Each structure stands twice: as structure tokens, then as C-alpha cells.
Amino acid sequence: MTTVFLAGGFGKMGRAIQQLIATESDLQLVGILAHAPSDSDVPVFTSLADINVTADVWVDVTRPDVAFDNGKYALQHGFNLVVGTSGLQEAQVKQLAKVSEDNGQSTLIVPNFSLSGVLLMQFAAQAAKYLPDAEILEIHNPKKVDAPSGTARATAQAIAQAREQTPVTTNHEDAARGDEIAGVPVHAMRLPGYVAEEEVVFGAPGETLRIKQTSFTRESFMGGVALAIRRVNTIEGLQTGLDKVL
């Protein structure tokens, strides 16, 4: 039995994870961290100082402004850590890596729990070896607080690392060209009706390639969440990406 503590348990993602854990015979929810008291069959805490339970895995699906402190607390109190909150800064990730190493705990940061999202990143990296010119469009619901998304950032970095040629389009100074991450233009849209969608568009003389992934419901993330919870203890230190436990 793997015990789980859930931070952000009453947001849309948190409620979906609660339902997931309730259906899995080898997972047990033992506590929730929330911004306000809520009815639950397990203890609900509204501050880190009040937590008086332990678990094998801390799952964080909160907000970027609190996920870092939550992560440090978890690692310093014997939890392995799964972070599904995007928007952490590079310096914060480095600090979590050090805390993870210092305390002998495992940390998995997951930009996207969807298997198809992971495959999109892998396919995009493969294509970038041959088609260096690429741009990313990502669309999420209006309540997503960070833009571009963690998935788009990870995809851009994967494309940049895989490139074997210099892209033709290297001037992205115009604001209309979107944000630039690792030399890849990224365009973020926030619209009602969407859960998560990402498309990578590659261009070359006389041809284009488009790779697109769409999550219609949060159910698409639950298989990845369960996998991360069950396998986070198989990694050393801090790793990024669901592919690290596939």
C-alpha cells in the first residue's frame, strides 16, 4: 500500500486525483492540504505547520506561488515528492533538487501527466533533428495561472536540445511572435471550453509537419498521476518528466 498526501486536493485536478485514489486498491489518501477547511473523510490541513500525518508520497497540484514551499516541506519531512504544478522557476527547481539530495528523497516534476502529451514531446524532439524551424501553440482554460504552460516550456527545451541544425527563423523580437523559450517561439492562449491542448508546427522548404495533442477531460491525466505515485521512489534525486518513470 502506498500512502498519499495531496496538496491542492479541492481544485479540479485535486478532486480528480481524490477519485482516482479511491478506486485504486494499492493507493491510500491520508491527508489533504487546502487553502480553506473542507469536508473530507481524511484530515484536511490549511497550513504546513498544522500537518501531523506522514505518507509515502506528497502530490502537489497547487499554484506556483506555494508549490515551492510545499515541496521543501515534503522533502524535509520524509515524503517523496510528485509535483504536477507548473510555473516553478529554474532556481526553485535547483533548490528542490538539493533538498531532495540532502534528505535522500525522490522528486518527480511532471509538466504533463498525459501519456499522449509525453509522446508529443518525444515526437517533437525526434522531428527537430531534421526540421529545426518550429513554433509551439498551447491552449488551456482561463484559470491556468502560468503562461506558457510547463508542457510548452518542456517541449521547447526538448526541441532545442535535439536540433542538429540552426533554424532559419532566428529573429523573434516582435512581441506578436510570442514568448521565446530556448530559441523556440511559444504562443499561449487561455479560452473557456479547453482543458489542455498543444500543437508543434515544423516548417521546411516545400513542406510542414504538425504534431498535436488534446486532453478533453482531466481523466486523461489520471493514468500518469497513478504511475508517478507508484514509481517516484524508483528515481534518484530530482527528475523532470513522466518519461522518467515509464
Q: Which three cell numbers stand for residue 212?
A: 498535436
Task: State the catalytic residues.
Answer: 140, 144
Q: Which residues contact 105 (CB under 8 A, 6 or more apart)?
A: 74, 75, 78, 79, 80, 81, 99
3-state SS class at 166: coil
Cβ atoms of 73 and 103 within 8 Å: the answer is no
8 A C-beta contact, residue 9 and residue 32? yes
Distance CA 121, CA 183 (A): 16
Name the grid cell of 163.
Answer: 536540433
Q: Please tell me what DSSP assigns to residue 244.
A: G
Residue 50 CA from chain centroid, whole number: 27
